[in-house]
Chains A and B, each alone.
Chain A
């Protein structure tokens, strides 16, 4: 079971990192989610794998560690919130820049301006 979980987490993490390194926002968000899932399972497993053990201490007998479950619950909640935010941000970015590239512009499109000039183009300043 340990081997299965370890390779599983490794595979999902690898997929997540690969997707995060893509140039479009949709794969990046997917990659972040996958990475988040892998991390959550990783935390869970760090309480060691137990079968047939109670999570909370009642009476005699072996117990499974309840703390990773509490930790992973918090991490899941935070992960959902941030994923929601990044999706919204990606949509807004797509809407404002007419491109779903993470840099906000198509790499091949000729903009007529050098990248350096583009970089200095800031948002509006206070009048």
Chain B
């Protein structure tokens, strides 16, 4: 029995990671959700009714199972095996494939490391402040897992839409005027981004005739002349799209307001959303338009590093100038994305490995900070998370130490993983042409982040006005809510203690990403796709020969 379950899992592992949240979400939808709006306590809703408790148990169980499966994926990928899953047994490049390599497994695990504590936190009350929180949360996880696992550029777009639509609803969860206002901007911007994404995809398809990432990497390398120019343009359009998701300068202006207005667990979950943009940039600009991509190679090299460094600096300045703690943490997100993309934009495996380690750290720390900000805001009475003198916190020592821990790690103080990550980026950048810029920016940004966080800490913990005492919360934060924030701190500590094995893993992930030949062989078979005859790309003469019947079935893009 166990063996057959294990065999089933071994065979279908990538797909199950997408299906599990999808089925959970559908099940939760079928269970129905009245929310807590309008006094539903008598009708079976309410905070502690049996139905709510069962929904929470189901949801948490699914996330825990998903986390175990994600750990299994990492365990399998760590050996260097490329697991290719052909959906519907259509062979690549005609069919859609899910590809599990070290990078995608790592990102799926990171998603669940963020999602599990966040969901635990949300069951403390946020999940009943609107309808269908748990279902939408799992749809979000489905989109995230799918985006990380897919090996097809168009399928990436589809999963982007899945996770974006879920994020629109999550952002509006709990409603409120400010949330609707920022939601409007967020949705319109992302829809425009999706349109651009499709334009980029269409241009790539026009010159190569494929959207399979492994096949693309081979075909882009063969492009010459005008086709290569179009491919370069498409690569830069995709950079704009993914830069919008990742909050790269000048496309980050939507982020601080959006994240600050979202409810705390949603903002914490969104910490992974910018990393989807980063991941997509790595996939396209390393995997497809990488070093070996012929005339179209490294199309983004001239842009990515300067933009990333600018992002980092502007994010740090934003954190300095922020007038609320939520906005400050949101700007720290922007700043950390800049640091990560600086590592990506240097285009060496060492810098990429360092950037991946820093990605793990910054996602975890920022998610934890978003939760912590709300815990502090809840105890400050009228002032909330605004940075102005207000009533004393109920638990200044406990929350203060947690804030100190998170801030020190976010700013990059030893011995926390933020310091290790930045050190790795500095070390890997040494000897490169851009060394002075990277060192200068990373160190300056660390300093400014520290000043900004210290300023916030001084205002929140020391500028206390005893007069406002009447409005202070009567009791401290509940252990349940605190434990979610502690979970993030524990992961951070683990990341510091396990720095050496994690770094070995990211080194291997970067090396695996550079080896496009092995990737192509795994996805397309030993002939590297040469055996698959297609009519594409057209050479303009319009003389096409009919295909072999074996290769004839037309691939239909199916929605997952």
A and B from one assembly? yes
Select one of B154, B199, B538, B546 contacting A42, CB under 8 A: B199
Of B108-116, B183-191, B432-440, the one touching chain A: B183-191
- Look across to chain A and name the residue whose beta carbon is closest to the beta carbon of B198: A39
A69 → chain B, closest Cβ, in Å? 9
Count how many chain B residues have C-beta atoms less than 8 Å from C-beta atoms of the other chain: 64
State whether A32 touches B175 (Cβ < 8 A). no
Task: Kindly state the interface size class of chain A when it binds its partner.
Answer: 35 or more
Residues of B within 8 A of A116 (CB): 323
Residues of A within 8 A of B187 (CB): 82, 85-86, 89
Select one of B184, B209, B374 contacting A25, CB under 8 A: B184
Q: Given A67-B554, A122-B176, answer yes or no on A103-B378 (Cβ-Cβ < 8 Å).
A: no
State whether A74 touches B557 (Cβ < 8 A). yes
B463 located at the interface, meaning its Cβ lies under 8 Å from any Cβ of chain A in the complex: no
State whether B177 touches A120 (Cβ < 8 A). no
Q: Given A65-B536, A97-B180, answer yes or no on A125-B384 (Cβ-Cβ < 8 Å).
A: yes
Chain B's interface: helix, strand, loop or mixed, by majority?
A: helix
Q: How far is the CA of A67 from the CA of B17 in the complex (A)?
A: 27
State whether A63 touches B184 (Cβ < 8 A). no
Select one of A77, A86, A125 contacting B377, CB under 8 A: A125
A36 → chain B, closest Cβ, in Å? 6
Residues of B within 8 A of A32 (CB): 188, 191-192, 195
Q: How far is the CA of A123 from the CA of B129 in the complex (A)?
A: 13
Select one of B184, B191, B555, B556 contacting A93, CB under 8 A: B184
B260 located at the interface, meaning its Cβ lies under 8 Å from any Cβ of chain A in the complex: yes
State whether A104 touches B181 (Cβ < 8 A). yes
Q: How far is the CA of A68 from the CA of B555 in the complex (A)?
A: 11
State whether A46 touches B202 (Cβ < 8 A). yes
B158 located at the interface, meaning its Cβ lies under 8 Å from any Cβ of chain A in the complex: yes
A75 located at the interface, meaning its Cβ lies under 8 Å from any Cβ of chain B in the complex: yes
State whether A123 touches B377 (Cβ < 8 A). no
B248 located at the interface, meaning its Cβ lies under 8 Å from any Cβ of chain A in the complex: no
Q: B81-112, CB under 8 A of A: which get 1 and which 0?
A: 00000000000000000000000000000000
List CB contacts (< 8 Å) of B359-382 with chain A. Answer: 374, 377-378
Select one of A46, A93, A119, A127 contacting B205, CB under 8 A: A46
B405 located at the interface, meaning its Cβ lies under 8 Å from any Cβ of chain A in the complex: no
Select one of A43, A70, A89, A97 contacting B201, CB under 8 A: A43
State whether A39 touches B195 (Cβ < 8 A). yes
Select one of B180, B194, B195 contacting A92, CB under 8 A: B180
A15 located at the interface, meaning its Cβ lies under 8 Å from any Cβ of chain B in the complex: no
Select one of A77, A93, A103, A122 contacting B261, CB under 8 A: A122
Q: How far is the CA of A96 from the CA of B176 in the complex (A)?
A: 8
State whether B559 touches A74 (Cβ < 8 A). yes
State whether B535 touches A63 (Cβ < 8 A). yes
Select one of B195, B261, B554 contacting A35, CB under 8 A: B195
B527 located at the interface, meaning its Cβ lies under 8 Å from any Cβ of chain A in the complex: no
- Look across to chain B and name the residue whose beta carbon is closest to the beta carbon of A102: B184
B385 located at the interface, meaning its Cβ lies under 8 Å from any Cβ of chain A in the complex: yes
State whether A126 touches B378 (Cβ < 8 A). yes
Residues of B within 8 A of A75 (CB): 198
State whether A96 touches B177 (Cβ < 8 A). yes
State whether B184 touches A82 (Cβ < 8 A). no
Q: How far is the CA of A57 from the CA of B552 in the complex (A)?
A: 6
Q: How far is the CA of A74 from the CA of B96 in the complex (A)?
A: 14
State whether B180 touches A56 (Cβ < 8 A). no
A64 → chain B, closest Cβ, in Å? 9
Residues of B within 8 A of A67 (CB): 205, 554-555, 557
A21 → chain B, closest Cβ, in Å? 10
List CB contacts (< 8 Å) of A26-75 with chain B. Answer: 28, 32, 35-36, 39-40, 42-43, 46-48, 50, 55-57, 59-63, 65-68, 70-71, 73-75
List CB contacts (< 8 Å) of B520-546 with chain A. Answer: 535-536, 538, 542-544, 546
Q: Which of A60, A83, A103, A119 lies at the interface centre, i.e. has the most chain B CB atoms within 10 A of its CB?
A: A119
B179 located at the interface, meaning its Cβ lies under 8 Å from any Cβ of chain A in the complex: yes
State whether A70 touches B557 (Cβ < 8 A). yes
State whether B195 touches A124 (Cβ < 8 A). no
Q: B180-223, CB under 8 A of A: which get 1 and which 0?
A: 11011101100110110011011101100101000000000000
Q: A104-127, CB under 8 A of B: which get 1 and which 0?
A: 100000000000100111111111
B324 located at the interface, meaning its Cβ lies under 8 Å from any Cβ of chain A in the complex: yes
Select one of B126, B195, B324 contacting A36, CB under 8 A: B195
Q: How far is the CA of A104 from the CA of B185 in the complex (A)?
A: 10
- Look across to chain B and name the residue whose beta carbon is closest to the beta carbon of A43: B202
- Look across to chain B and name the residue whose beta carbon is closest to the beta carbon of A104: B181
Q: Which of A56, A60, A86, A126 lies at the interface centre, i.e. has the most chain B CB atoms within 10 A of its CB?
A: A126
18 contacting pairs across A/B (C-beta < 8 A): A28-B188, A32-B191, A43-B198, A43-B205, A55-B554, A57-B546, A62-B542, A63-B544, A67-B205, A70-B556, A74-B559, A82-B194, A85-B187, A104-B184, A122-B385, A123-B178, A123-B263, A125-B377
New contact pairs (6) apart from A126-B129, A126-B264, CB-CB < 8 Å: A42-B198, A46-B202, A47-B205, A78-B158, A92-B180, A126-B126
